Structure 1
Amino acid sequence: MDNAYVTTPFGRRAMSLGMLASQQLAEAIEPGTTRNKWKLFRAVCEARPALGVTDRALTVLDALLTFYPNDEISEERGLVVFPSNAQLSIRARGMTAATLRRHLAVLVDAGLILRRDSANGKRYARRDRAGEVEEAFGFSLAPLLARAVEIETLAAQALAARELFKRTKERLTICRRDIAKLIEVAIDEGIDGDWQKVVAIYRAIIDGLPRSPGIETLASALDQLSLLREEIVNRLNFKDKSNKMIANESQIGRHIQNSNPESTYELEPALDDEQGGANFSLHVGESSAALADRKITPNVRSRGGKQFEGSGGQEPLKSFPLGLVMQACPEISAYGPGGQVSSWRDLMSAAVVVRSMLGVSPSAYQEACSTMGPENAASVIACILERGGHINSAGGYLRDLTRRTENGEFAIGPMLMSLVRANGPGRRRAG
């Protein structure tokens, strides 16, 4: 094909600066440039939004390419195809003549093909005696080959953008799922926090997404949800660390309590029966083995003179003297009648006040009373108040202790001993 001159369209079709630019671009094809026509066509399909062509126009371009005799498009083999409208319509899936002309114009305006019209507007080719095409009139694929690098770049960008959109949407879906299930866990476990407000924030972000969001909108929503998920996870991790710290302190308390059997350390002076008191002391001269066999526990009277038996049928949970509880948990005194606690009744009254203040639900406290006994449940509330700065959710912690009590895994003694030491272990040492 000779591109050394300007060709204008036949008939009423007007010439445009865009056509002139396309012709000049077609003349600038680098020598030796070739492309596989179907790979180039797939690149055009990928870059369709950037090129400004419709899917129907691509159907017409596909039909035009089928008339090119080789798979490799090159200037040496010629770049003009000259099918009749009838043949082109057949290969364009039966497209009507009017629709065909409209989409051919779209391809020309998009700078993908050129019209090379004959004097009478017919499409044909002149051949030499050997049958080789000397001159052809029809549609030139020169702009398509000249813009091959640009088209391939646009296709790569479109593919990358589509992959980014897909990954962002998948990450958003996973983030939504994570947040919904983490909130559910937090509520079920009684983790402290305004979870209704968190749900409202979550719903506001999701409801703000349009029906067909763009990548910027999705990325912004993903950033917001990621921050929200991070905050929820941090709060749950804090709760988990608090539970581990409490468990470690309980283990340390049990170890220290049983590690020095030969010391004379009266933990609690004798109390009268009305207060439910009894002596709790370690005796001089007993070996560790003897202590283990004797299973030292306070000989305590509970209400009605009986030890409370939990609902699970396990070993009864022992109640400790009121004096020891108050020595370990002095803060609860301020919530008793008249600002002091002088009996188990006073402690249980104070525990009801503190329970409400700590956000423990009535059902959680009632379950603790049924499982541990009223005195022990009140003692646990006093311990939770004393350690308030280390417990994120008092309600969840109490439910966990109740469950462990049912399984025979919890004893209140180590908790009280740990708090006694924290509040000054030497203050109650007897002579």
Structure 2
Amino acid sequence: MHTGHITTPFGRRPAKLALVKEQFAIAASTPSTRVEKWKVFRDVCETRERFGLQDRAIAVLDALLTFYPDTQLDASNGLVVFPSNAQLSVRAHGITESTLRRQLGALVDAGLIMRRDSPNGKRYAHRSRDGEIEKAYGFDLSPLLTRSTELALLAQDVAAERMRFRRAKETLTICRRDVRKLITAAIEEGAPGNWGHVETVYIGILSRHPRYPDRNQVDTTLGEMELLREEVINMLEMQVESKNMHGNAAPNDRHIQNSKTESINELEPSSEKEQGANVPEEPKTKSVAGTKTKAKLEQIKAFPLGMVLRACPQIIDYGPVGGIAHWRELMTAAVVVRSMLGVSPSAYEEACSAMGPENAAVAMACILERSNFINSPGGYLRDLTKRSEQGEFSLGPMLMSLLKANGEGSAVA
């Protein structure tokens, strides 16, 4: 029987069976002889999120430990401290009494301290004639001594989890960099493949990644990004193998390849100059699609990045390092602006598919510049996407209008 070790709270605070169970466990345990109190406190600080404790609860526990005179918790010397709320508030950096009561309750619920309430609810101690404490009413620090080993192991687990989280974020950063640079190199050097779609998938993965992710969210994004990296590497590897297979082919092999209506060279704005008169005439229905694709890429080349930034200077603040020096940085900033303006990922992906990633980024920059006059940025972008698919929209007039509004219209003209 352990009736002498069970106590109930004073006043209106109810006695919970969970707390009674914890008192039984502490009474039945054989705690360490002594343990350094500030070491246990550091372990609690390390594991406070596991217990659902706020930083103010840690400050209150710190204040309680300062009222224990020895540097080591020792059961033989008694582990009950009995400061008043006013004294606790001073040592807890002046928190209010209501906050103090709430955080003391959180420490009790977490099983880190116990209440030893007196008949009238006051905190005090009975002393012998020699001045030694015979009986004390207040807060019992026995759980810290009893659970010291458990808290130390839990602190080690939290530190290991934090290390795994940090390494997962580092791996994601490297993987994201690899995918971004491989896509950029493939697009700039005209590698065969549907790189516009790959770019859209990449932007979609980043748009779903929260700004302050937890471990599971980082692992999810990392898995998607690693799959995309494998796909990009496979596409580039297939291209290298294809070049090796056709490296010694006949001189007219290039001409035969260009005769296919779905040749990737249709997507290169300079392909007509490079191929010259050897390019056979395409069927009318096929050439229209090729002309539209060329027009999109030529439209990007027609608007220098500097011109876009002069027309839309606000987006510069959202660049990766507080500035924009390349098209890929503009596209990265556009993803941030999309989220800020409340444009859905699906609306932006549709814009990237219809206009191309670069044009979609320019459109987002224009929408940001005119955000004070646009009630629904998402609906506005969808409208531009629909008009772009119908061939009824061009970014030129919009950029010119913004340049004119910024006082550079005459210089551009």
- TM-score, normalised with respect to structure 2: 0.59
Give the Å deviation of 1:98: 2.6
1:75 aligns with 2:75: yes
| Residue in 1 that maps onto 2:259 | 354
Cα distance change of structure 1 residues 358 and 104 upon mapping to structure 2, 3 Å threshold? closer
Query: Contact 1:127–1:134 at 8 Å: present in 2 too?
Result: yes
Instruction: Please list the CA deviations of residues 202-225 of structure 1 after superposition, one character each: whole Å capped at 9, or x if unmatched.
Output: 122222223443322221221111
Tell me the secondary structure at the aligned position of residue 27 of structure 1: helix
- Give the partner amino acid of 1:123: R
Match of 2:124 in 1: 124
Tell me the equivalent position of 2:321. Answer: none
Query: What SS is found at the alignment partner of 1:70?
Result: coil
| Equivalent in the alignment of 1:363 | 270
Residues 270-313 of structure 1, C-alpha deviation per residue, up to 9 Å, x if partnerless?
A: xxxxxxxxxxxxxxxxxxxxxxxxxxxxxxxxxxxxxxxxxxxx
Task: Structure 1 unaligned segments of length 5 or more: list them.
Answer: 251-327, 333-349, 379-431
Give the 3 Å change call, closer, same or farther, for CA 193–81 of structure 1 in structure 2. same
Judge conservation of contact 1:3–1:26 (CA < 8 Å) in 2: no
Aligned residues between the structures: 276
Q: CA deviation at 1:160?
A: 2.6
After superposition, the CA RMSD in angstroms is 3.1
Q: Equivalences for 1:10-159 in 2 at 5 Å?
A: 10-159=10-159
Q: How does 1:32-431 map to 2 (within 5 A)?
A: 32-240=32-240, 328=250, 354=259, 358-360=263-265, 361=268, 363-364=270-271, 366-367=273-274
Identity of aligned residues (%): 47
**Superposition TM-score, scaled by structure 1 size:** 0.57
Q: 1:351 Cα shift?
A: 7.4
Is contact 2:47-2:154 (8 Å) kept? yes
User: Partners of 2:101 and 2:252 in 1: how far apart?
Assistant: 93
Question: C-alpha distance in 1, partners of 2:165/2:85?
Answer: 40
The whole-number CA distance in structure 1 between the counterparts of 2:9 and 2:262 is 88
Shift of residue 79, structure 1, vs aligned partner: 0.8
What residue ranges of structure 2 are gaps of 5+ in the alignment?
A: 280-413
Provide the rounded CA distance (Å) in 1 between the counterparts of 2:257 and 2:270.
12
Indicate if the aligned counterparts of 1:4 and 1:27 stay in contact, CA closer than 8 A. Answer: no
Report SS of the residue matched to 2:176.
Answer: helix
The alignment partner of 2:111 has SS state of coil
One-letter amino acid of the structure 2 residue matched with residue 184 of structure 1? T
- Preserved contact between residue 205 and residue 225 of structure 2 (Cα < 8 Å): yes
Work out whether residues 47 and 154 of structure 1, in 8 Å CA contact, stay in contact via their aligned partners in 2: yes
Give the 3 Å change call, closer, same or farther, for CA 192–203 of structure 1 in structure 2.
same
How far apart are the structure 1 equivalents of 2:128 and 2:36?
27
Q: CA deviation at 1:3?
A: 8.4
In the alignment, is the contact (CA less than 8 A) between 1:25 and 1:146 conserved in 2? no
Mapped contact 1:83–1:138 kept (Cα < 8 A) = yes
